[in-house]
């Protein structure tokens, strides 16, 4: 029961070949096979959003996704955001990451990768969301430190093109 499976995954623009047990989730492959530990293991049952990654640009919970199901999709983890931004001609980190930095939208930082990826997915499909849309898009990402206000401000700042609060 439960043999190993050869997987070909496309992660942050690179094709990656790994062998993983049948029952492993994408989260486990990312963290324990590929050492992409920016994706966090929080509740591990779909409640906290810390394990959020983008699958073809849409936010999914990697803790509830069998790794085999991620084959054939473009996976983006927090490690891939800044390189992708630079590959598009940008400088520094992704504007959402920069905005989180400038607004101080973190304390312990554990929720931050999932929070940023959910925000990136929102801005990619809706570049100018209002506060209600931001709250709805981040509603599955729990933060126990900040009270969310600066996180919402960060997304608004990124949507405004980074102009504003320093």
Partner 1 sequence: MRRFSYHVAADAVEAARLGAEGSALRKAGGTDLLDRMKEGLERPATVVGMHRALPTGLRREGEWLWIGAGTTLAELGRSAELRRLLPSLAESAGEAATPAIREAATLGGNLFQRPRCWYFRSRHYLCRKKGGAVCWAQEGRHEHHALFDNDHCAVVHPANAAPALIAAGAVLHLVGGDGRRRQLPLAEAYTPAGDDPEVEHRLAADEIVVEVAVPAAALGPRSAHVEIRHKQSFDWPLAMAAANLNGRPGLVLGAVASTPRPVPLPEPPPADEPGLREWAAAAARRAVADATPLPGNAWRLRPARAAAERALLRAAGLAVDPGRKEER
Q: Which is nearer to partner 1, 11 or 54 (CB)?
A: 54
Closest contact distance (angstroms) between CB of 52 and partner 1 is 6
Q: What whole-number distance in Å separates Cα of residue 108 and Cα of residue 127?
A: 28
113 lies in the site for partner 1, by CB under 8 A: no
Closest contact distance (angstroms) between CB of 153 and partner 1 is 19
42-54 CB burial, b ≥16 within 10 A, e <16 = bebeeebbbbbbb
Q: What whole-number distance in Å separates Cα of residue 158 and Cα of residue 146?
A: 18
55 lies in the site for partner 1, by CB under 8 A: yes
Q: Which is nearer to partner 1, 69 or 108 (CB)?
A: 69
Structure tokens at 28: 């486990």
Q: Which residues inside 114-153 make contact with partner 1, applying CB under 8 A?
A: 118, 121, 135-137, 139-140
46 lies in the site for partner 1, by CB under 8 A: yes
Across-strand partners of 14?
11
82 lies in the site for partner 1, by CB under 8 A: no
18 lies in the site for partner 1, by CB under 8 A: no
Q: Identify the residue whose tokens are 């049952």.
A: 45
69 lies in the site for partner 1, by CB under 8 A: yes
Structure tokens at 13: 């623009």
Residue 31 near residue 39, CB atoms below 8 Å: yes
What number of other Cβ atoms are within 10 A of residue 145's Cβ?
A: 14
Residue 131 near residue 99, CB atoms below 8 Å: no
29 lies in the site for partner 1, by CB under 8 A: no
Q: What whole-number distance in Å separates Cα of residue 72 and Cα of residue 77?
A: 16
Closest contact distance (angstroms) between CB of 61 and partner 1 is 5
Closest contact distance (angstroms) between CB of 91 and partner 1 is 29
For partner 1, the binding residues (CB under 8 A) are 1-3, 5, 21-23, 25, 44-46, 49, 52, 55, 58-61, 63-66, 68-69, 118, 121, 135-137, 139-140
């Amino acid at each position: 029961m439960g043999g190993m499976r050869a997987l070909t995954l496309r992660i942050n623009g690179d094709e990656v070949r790994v062998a993983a047990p049948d029952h492993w989730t994408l989260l486990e492959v990312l963290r324990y096979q590929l050492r992409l530990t920016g994706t966090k293991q929080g509740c591990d049952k779909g409640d906290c959003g810390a394990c959020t990654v983008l699958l073809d640009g849409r936010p999914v919970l990697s803790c509830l996704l069998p790794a085999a199901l991620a084959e054939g999709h473009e996976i983006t983890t927090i490690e891939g955001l800044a390189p992708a931004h630079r590959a598009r001609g940008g400088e520094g980190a992704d504007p959402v990451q920069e905005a989180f930095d400038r607004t101080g939208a973190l304390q312990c930082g554990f929720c931050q990768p999932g929070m940023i990826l959910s925000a990136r997915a929102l801005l990619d499909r809706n570049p100018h969301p209002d506060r209600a849309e931001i709250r709805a898009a981040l509603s599955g990402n729990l933060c126990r430190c900040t009270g969310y206000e600066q996180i919402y401000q960060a997304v608004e700042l990124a949507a405004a093109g980074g102009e504003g609060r320093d």
